[in-house]
Structures are given as structure tokens and as C-alpha cells.
Structure 1
Amino acid sequence: MATKTVATALQRTLTDLIDLGLPAKQAHWNVTGPHFRAVHLHLDELAAATREHADSVAERLAALGVSPDGRASTVAAESTLPGLPAGPLADRAAAEAGILAATITGLRAGTAATGEPDPVSQDLLIGIAADLEKQHWMFQAQTR
């Protein structure tokens, strides 16, 4: 039961991290506005960070004997994140899209679920949440 709880939290996090990285690149390619350069570069940094975090989560799943599932069909079916509109995206809209905040909310739920059964997985999720919360703050600061 404990492994299933941890595996579910980690798989959800993996799915959301993969899904966060995709719209981060989409926004990176389509961002416009007076804060273009700062937001454009920051979106690229966010996309890179999500790939690293997703890799860490997938490796933790594998270490627990659970096969991580990062297939596009799984991400499309199971992601809990809101979508990103197509086309040009104003810098403020990119910074406030809600996708990063939704990822953080999911991470906090995963942190709560993994604390008792697996403090090592919880620690991993806490570190990722701390990084993404910092990223979220930095996006907000750039466009206010």
C-alpha cells in the first residue's frame, strides 16, 4: 500500500512536470511584449529545469521498482495542468498562465502523501517544489 501511494504521487508529478515543460517551450517561442527578453529566457530555463526534475522523479520511481511512464499518450490522458492557448502570448499572460501554480499545487499534494511512507521521495518533491515556487515568484516579479 505504501509503495502504491508513493508511486501514484511520483507518477502524477512526473506527468505534470513533462506537461509543464511542453507549454514552457511553447510560450518561449510565442511570448511577446515589453518584458519579452527576460520572460523568453526565463521560460527556456523553466523548460530545462522541468526536464531535470522529471528525470529525477522518473529515476526515483525506477529505484522503487516502479516503471515510470512518460509517454505522450500518458501525459495527455493524465496531466492535471490547464492548457495554454495557441499563438502569440503576452509576457504577462505567460507569467500568469496558471500552469506553474497548478504544478506546485500538485507537488504539495504529493509531498503530503509521501511524508509518512517514504521521506526520501518526499524530500525529492520538496526540493522540486522549492525550485518551482522560486521560478513562480520570479515570473511574477518580472511582469509587475
Structure 2
Amino acid sequence: MATVTSPLPDKAKKAAGEALQGALIDLIDLGLLAKQAHWNLTGRNFKVVHEHLDEIVTLARQAQDDVAERAVTIGVNPDGRSRTVADRTELDQLEAGYLADDKVAAAITGLLAQIIARFRGHIAATEEADPVSQDLLIGVTAELEKQHWMFQAQS
């Protein structure tokens, strides 16, 4: 069986791999939570929030693919299995059932703030270990911050 050798020293590979894995967990859970809200949304601003949630899902799915592929590139196996995400997520979870549009906007704003804070930690952890992974994380963070601003404006 072929394996991918890392272009990084072991210590840097470990630090970058842990940061990328944490980012992957956050992005997978964000995509799932945004879709859950999308399906159960109610309220006067249904259409706007419903469509905006799809933007979050698209962002999360693209970013998780980029993050996972970066992990493999540096010789780290990403783990996006549902059990891993469920066991390791640190994000607040949405209530079950119908969700009012104003509560969804506030909840998504909060989730994005949590993820952004965690991503800033991942950025710091990769500064010396792997500037290429850091650059990827910075780009994703910029998009998350843009979405945070847009959802916050709806809250």
C-alpha cells in the first residue's frame, strides 16, 4: 500500500495535522448544522435566511475538502467520519424541530464566532509549523468572518 510522505519534519507535521483536523471537524459540523437549520426554518424572513444558509453549507463543504486535502498533502490522514465529528465537536448544537428565522440568525452568528475563534488558534499553531496550511486557514477564516458579519447584520 502506498503512503504519502510528508514534506514537513515530524514535529511540524504533527502541529499542522492537529490544526487541520480540528478545522475539519468544525467545518463538517458547521455544514451539518446549517443544513439542519435550512430544513427546519420558519418565519417572515424564511427565504433570505434559507438561501443564506445554503451559502454557509457551500462554504463549509468546499473548505472542508480543501482542509482535508491539505492534510493528506502533508501526510496526515483526515478523519471526517460521523462518529469522529460527533465525539469531537465543540460547537453548540441547534434545538430539534422548527426554528424561527431570528433564532437561526443568532445561532449561526454564534456558531461562526466559535469557529472563527478556534480557527485563529489553528492559524497561530501553524505559523511556524506550516505556513502553507496557515495560509489556507487564513483564507477560510476570512470567508467565515464575512459570513459572520452578514448573519450578525440579520440578528
Q: Is the TM value for this pair above 0.5?
A: yes
Question: Identity rate of aligned residues, in percent?
Answer: 59
Whether contact under 8 Å (1:13, 1:57) holds in the other structure is yes
TM-score after normalising by structure 2? 0.89
Matched length: 143
CA distance in 2 between counterparts of 1:126 and 1:15 reads: 17
Deviation >6 Å, runs of 4+ = none
2:123 to 87, 93, 111: 111
Partner residue, 2:70: 60
Partner residue, 1:120: 132
**1:5-45 CA-partner distances (Å, limit 9, x unpaired):** 11001000001100000010000111122221111000011
In the alignment, structure 1 residue 91 sits paired with structure 2 residue 101: yes
Alpha-carbon distance, 1:141 to partner: 1.4
Whether contact under 8 Å (1:35, 1:142) holds in the other structure is no
CA distance in 2 between counterparts of 1:119 and 1:63 reads: 14
| Structure 2 unmatched ranges of 5 or more | 1-10
Alignment of 1:6-17 (within 5 A): 6-17=16-27
Coordinate RMSD, CA, aligned:
0.9
More displaced stretch, 6-15 vs 85-94: 85-94
**1:49-108 CA-partner distances (Å, limit 9, x unpaired):** 100000000000000011110000100011111111111111121111122211111111
The structure whose Rg is larger is 2
| Structure 1 unmatched ranges of 5 or more | none
Alpha-carbon distance, 1:111 to partner: 0.5
Alpha-carbon distance, 1:142 to partner: 2.5
